[in-house]
C-alpha cells in the first residue's frame, strides 16, 4: 500500500549545531517481561518537562537524530521507539494484540525514563505524533484509558501526518482506500488464510530492501520521481531551511527501511491485524479529559487514501484542525518544522528566540 514508509522522518532531519551534543541520538534497548526487548532512540535533555513521542510508519524505525530547530529551541526530550516486530523491538507475544502490546511496551519505556512520575504533581507536557501507519499507535496512546497508560494524563496534543482512521470504528474506511490499499489491508487481507497477501508482498519487496542503494531506488520510484513541480519547490525550501544536503533525506529514509526488517518481518506481516484491531475506545466516545487534547491533522491533497480518511478524523475529534498541503504522501514532511513551531506557539506560548 502507499504507506510503505514513514512520511515524516523529516521531523528529525534538521542539522544540529556542533555544540549541541544533547541532540545526538542515544539508541538503547530495554529488557521487557517475557524475554522481549524494546529498541528505542531518544535525544535532548532527559530531564526536560517538554516531551515529544514519535511513532514511526511502515518500513521505518524510531529515529531521534537531527531533530528540528523547534525541538532544540524548546529543549524537547525527543523519544521514538521501534514498534513491535520492527527494527530491534521483539515481535508481539503469541495471542497478543497490537494495541495491548504497544501500550505495554510504551508504559515500560516511560517507567524506565521517568521512574519518579507522579500524576498528581508531574509537570510533564507530552506531545504525541505519528506518520502514516504510525498515526494508529499515536492515536492509541493518546486515547488510552489512564489505568493502561498513566502518563497519558500529561498528553496535551496529537499530531497526525498522512493519517489513518481506526478501521474498527470507521465502518466506511474501505471507501477511503485506493484499490491497491483496499486489497493490501482491507477486507481481502482479513479473509484470505495464512496471511497470504502480506507474505506475497514480502516476497516481492524483500529483494528491494537487501541494502541501502536498493531501498533508495525503491523509495525514489515510489515517491520522489512522482513529485509535482510545486512539491519539489517545497522540498528544496525545506532542505535549505534544515541544512540537509541533496539526497540526504532519501538516504536516511532508505537506511531506516533496511534496518526496519533486518532482524524480522513480523511487524510488516502483522500490519493488517494491527490496523483492524480494537483500540479499546472509540474517538466519538472519548471522555472530556481525553477529548480536550489538541489534534492536528496534516495531509497532502494528492495523498488519496489518507486525504479521504483525514475527513473522518477531523469530523470526529472534538478539538481538531487540519493542515492541507499541496502534494502527495510525503508532502507533510516539508512543513513539519513549521507546524511544530506553530503548535508549540499555540500551546506553550510565544516561541523562544534561537
CATH number at 293 reads 3.40.50.1820
pLDDT for 353 equals 58
Please write the tens of the pLDDT for every residue from 278-327. Answer: 999 999 999 999 999 999 999 999 999 999 999 999 999 999 999 999 99
| Distance from the Cα of residue 17 to its chain's centroid | 25
Give SS3 for 221.
helix
pLDDT score of 11 more than 60 = no
pLDDT score of 18 more than 90 = no
User: Positive or negative CA dihedral for 252, 253, 256, 257?
Assistant: negative
pLDDT for 5 equals 52
Instruction: Answer yes or no: is 265 within a domain.
Output: no
pLDDT for 6 equals 58
Backbone angles phi, psi at 159, to 5 degrees: -115, 125
| 25, 63 Cβ separation under 8 angstroms | yes
pLDDT score of 10 more than 50 = no
Residue predicted with more confidence, 228 or 110: 110
Secondary structure letter of residue 157 according to DSSP? E
pLDDT for 19 equals 40
Mean pLDDT of the chain: 92
pLDDT score of 8 more than 90 = no
Instruction: Answer yes or no: is 335 within a domain.
Output: yes
Geometric angle at alpha carbon 285, from 300 and 346, rounded to 5°: 50
Beta bridge partners of residue 287, listed in sequence order: none
pLDDT score of 12 more than 80 = no
Geometric angle at alpha carbon 311, from 306 and 315, rounded to 5°: 145
What does the alpha-carbon distance between residue 306 and residue 3 come to, in Å, rounded to a whole number?
9
pLDDT score of 17 more than 60 = no
pLDDT for 271 equals 96
**CA–CA distances in Å: residue 152 to residues 79, 156, 216:** 15, 9, 37
Instruction: Answer yes or no: is 192 within a domain.
Output: no
pLDDT for 191 equals 84
Percent of the chain with pLDDT over 90: 87
Q: Which of 5-14, 15-24, 72-81, 239-248 has the highest mean pLDDT?
A: 72-81
Instruction: Determine the average pLDDT of the residues in 220-239.
Output: 93
Instruction: Answer yes or no: is 243 within a domain.
Output: no
Instruction: Determine the average pLDDT of the residues in 196-223.
Output: 95
Give SS3 for 129.
strand
Q: How would residue 66 be classed by pLDDT, with cut points 50, 70 and 90?
A: confident
| Distance from the Cα of residue 144 to its chain's centroid | 17
Beta bridge partners of residue 27, listed in sequence order: 41
Q: How many domains does the chain divide into?
A: 1
Please write the tens of the pLDDT for every residue from 127-179. Answer: 999 999 999 999 999 999 999 999 999 999 999 999 999 999 999 999 999 99
Please write the tens of the pLDDT for every residue from 255-264. Answer: 999 999 999 9
Sheet strands side by side (includes 50-55)? 26-31, 37-43, 77-81, 50-55, 125-131, 155-161, 294-300, 320-325
Percent of the chain with pLDDT over 70: 94
What does the alpha-carbon distance between residue 88 and residue 350 come to, in Å, rounded to a whole number?
38
Instruction: Answer yes or no: is 248 within a domain.
Output: no
Q: Which of 43, 45, 39, 40 is nearest to 12 (CA)?
A: 43
Instruction: Answer yes or no: is 108 within a domain.
Output: yes
Q: How would residue 351 be classed by pLDDT, with cut points 50, 70 and 90?
A: low
| 6, 189 Cβ separation under 8 angstroms | no
pLDDT for 126 equals 98
Q: How would residue 4 be classed by pLDDT, with cut points 50, 70 and 90?
A: very low
Q: In terms of residue numbers, what domain contains 304?
A: 9-176+273-348
Instruction: Answer yes or no: is 220 within a domain.
Output: no
Position of cell 513521542?
Answer: 53
Instruction: Answer yes or no: is 212 within a domain.
Output: no
Stretch (H or E) spanning 297: strand 294-300
Cell of 319: 478539538
| 258, 252 Cβ separation under 8 angstroms | no
What does the alpha-carbon distance between residue 296 and residue 273 come to, in Å, rounded to a whole number?
26
Amino acid at each position: 500500500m502507499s504507506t510503505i514508509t514513514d512520511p515524516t522522518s523529516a521531523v528529525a532531519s534538521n542539522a544540529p549545531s556542533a555544540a549541541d551534543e544533547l541532540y545526538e541520538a542515544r539508541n538503547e534497548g530495554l529488557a521487557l517481561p517475557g524475554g522481549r526487548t524494546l529498541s528505542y532512540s531518544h535525544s535532548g535533555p532527559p530531564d526536560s518537562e517538554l516531551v515529544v513521542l514519535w511513532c514511526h510508519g511502515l518500513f521505518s524505525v524510531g529515529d531521534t537524530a537531527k531533530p528540528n530547530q523547534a525541538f532544540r529551541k524548546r529543549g524537547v526530550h525527543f523519544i521514538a521507539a521501534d514498534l513491535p516486530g520492527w527494527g530491534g523491538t521483539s515481535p508481539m507475544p503469541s495471542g497478543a494484540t497490537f494495541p495491548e502490546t504497544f501500550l505495554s511496551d510504551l508504559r515500560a519505556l516511560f517507567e524506565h525514563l521517568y521512574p519518579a512520575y507522579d500524576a498528581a504533581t508531574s509537570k510533564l507536557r507530552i506531545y504525541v505524533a505519528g506518520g502514516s501507519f504510525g498515526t494508529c499507535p499515536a492515536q492509541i496512546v493518546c486515547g488510552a484509558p489512564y489505568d493502561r497508560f498513566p502518563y497519558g494524563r500529561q498528553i496535551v496534543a496529537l499530531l497526525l501526518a498522512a493519517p489513518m482512521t481506526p478501521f474498527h470504528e470507521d465502518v466506511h474506511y474501505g471507501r477511503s482506500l485506493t484499490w491497491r490499499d483496499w486489497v493490501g489491508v482491507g477486507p481481502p487481507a482479513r479473509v484470505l488464510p495464512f496471511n497470504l497477501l502480506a507474505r506475497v508482498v514480502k516476497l516481492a519487496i524483500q529483494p528491494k530492501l537487501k541494502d541501502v542503494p536498493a531501498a533508495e531506488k525503491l523509495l525514489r520510484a515510489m515517491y520522489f520521481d512522482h513529485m509535482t513541480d510545486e512539491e519539489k519547490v517545497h522540498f528544496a525550501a525545506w532542505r535549505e531551511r534544515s541544512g540537509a544536503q541533496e539526497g540526504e533525506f532519501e538516504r536516511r529514509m532508505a537506511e531506516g527501511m533496511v534496518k526496519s526488517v533486518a532482524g524480522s518481518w513480523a511487524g510488516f506481516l502483522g500490519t493488517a491485524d494491527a490496523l483492524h484491531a480494537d483500540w479499546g475506545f472509540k474517538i466519538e466516545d472519548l471522555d472530556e479529559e481525553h477529548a480536550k487534547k489538541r489534534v492536528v491533522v496534516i495531509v497532502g491533497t494528492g495523498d488519496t487514501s489518507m486525504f479521504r480518511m483525514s475527513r473522518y478524523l477531523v469530523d470526529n475529534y472534538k478539538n481538531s484542525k487540519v493542515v492541507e498541503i499541496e502534494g502527495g504522501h510525503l508532502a507533510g514532511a516539508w512543513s513539519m518544522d513549521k507546524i511544530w513551531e506553530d503548535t508549540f506557539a499555540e500551546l506553550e506560548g510565544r516561541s523562544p528566540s534561537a
